[in-house]
Structure 1
Amino acid sequence: DKGSPVWRHVDIATLSMRKLSEDFIENYVEQEWDNIRYCVGCYEIEGSGVQLFTDIKGSQFTIMGLPLLHVLDYLRDRGIMPS
């Protein structure tokens, strides 16, 4: 099984963006540029980027790119991490 996946998980998160004024966008980018310039979507959900949205369904960890709670379950289920 060299090179084949040992575990796979797909998770979905849905974000609803609020209507943003041009002034808000300009101010947001000006204030946050150093933090968001390399972020997909130009926001950090764990920081001030949360104010861009009216609704979030799903895990914040999934939005950040790693479904951490599911990874931890996998590790505990296999005795790799104490439970």
Structure 2
Amino acid sequence: MTQQLILASGSPARRALLGATGLTFDVLRAELDEEAAAAPLEESNASPADIAAALAMAKALTVSEQYPEALVIAADQTLECEGELLRKADDMGEARRQLLRLSGRTHFLHAALACAEAGQIVFEAQESAALALRQLSPEEVGRYLAFAGEEVLSSVGLYQFEGPGIRLMQRVDGDYFTILGLPLMPLLAFLRERGIGTF
């Protein structure tokens, strides 16, 4: 009998990425207060990459405790700009301010993956990508946000790399899947080792 796969994520991008592989999986968003979980890590000066890894593990374990027979896949992503962790914006005004801050600068997306089984982490992976936004005027940021709409609030960085946000970019150095928040190649390699996803 094939082991059940669960993607512990509410992210449409992650669901689409994993779905495009042809794997069969269920989706169950982990009920986790990410800000509360990240707070002690931030207070201890953990790096944004380490925070992403800790949150991915917490999500995987939360769902694995409910479905111990399944293999649970979870991921998290953080954005770092000039050493500071930036979060998703709460509203369009904050989105505007954050995009203007990222304008003309290089920032880093840290994507972490964790797989859990029977309440234990059985696989971890981390990857990072560097992205540089063009120098954007306040007017250009305003037009972009009006075009893209409030959907950008669901994305760290406030751009949808797989959509119109790509037009904001000047340079990209990193894996496409990492930028979308799911280190897919390490995940697929792990699943093949488990006899999952081979042709």
TM-score range, shorter chain: 0.7 to 0.9
Residues matched between the structures, number: 83
1:42-81 pair list within 5 angstroms:
42-81=158-197
Misfit runs of 4+, over 4 Å: none
Q: Give the match for residue 37 of structure 1.
A: 153
Q: 1:25 aligns with which of 141, 147, 150?
A: 141
**1:3-51 Cα shifts (integer Å, max 9, x gaps):** 3210010101111111001111010000101331222121110011111
Cα RMSD for the two superposed structures: 1.6
Q: Which amino acid aligns with 2:195?
A: G
- How far has the Cα of 1:77 moved from its partner? 2.2
Q: Which amino acid aligns with 1:10?
A: Q
Q: Which amino acid aligns with 1:20?
A: L
Q: Could you tell which deviates more after superposition, 11-20 or 1-10?
A: 1-10
Structure 2 CA distance, aligned partners of 1:65 and 1:37? 15
TM score, norm. by length of structure 1: 0.87
Structure 2 CA distance, aligned partners of 1:2 and 1:36? 35
Segments of structure 2 that go 5 or more residues without pairing to the other structure are: 1-116
Segments of structure 1 that go 5 or more residues without pairing to the other structure are: none
Structure 2 CA distance, aligned partners of 1:54 and 1:18? 5
Seq. identity, %: 35
Structure 1 CA distance, aligned partners of 2:118 and 2:188? 23
Q: Which amino acid aligns with 2:144?
A: Y
Q: 1:10 aligns with which of 100, 116, 126?
A: 126
Q: Which amino acid aligns with 2:160?
A: E
Q: Give the match for residue 13 of structure 2.
A: none
Q: Secondary structure at the match of 1:15?
A: strand
TM score, norm. by length of structure 2: 0.39
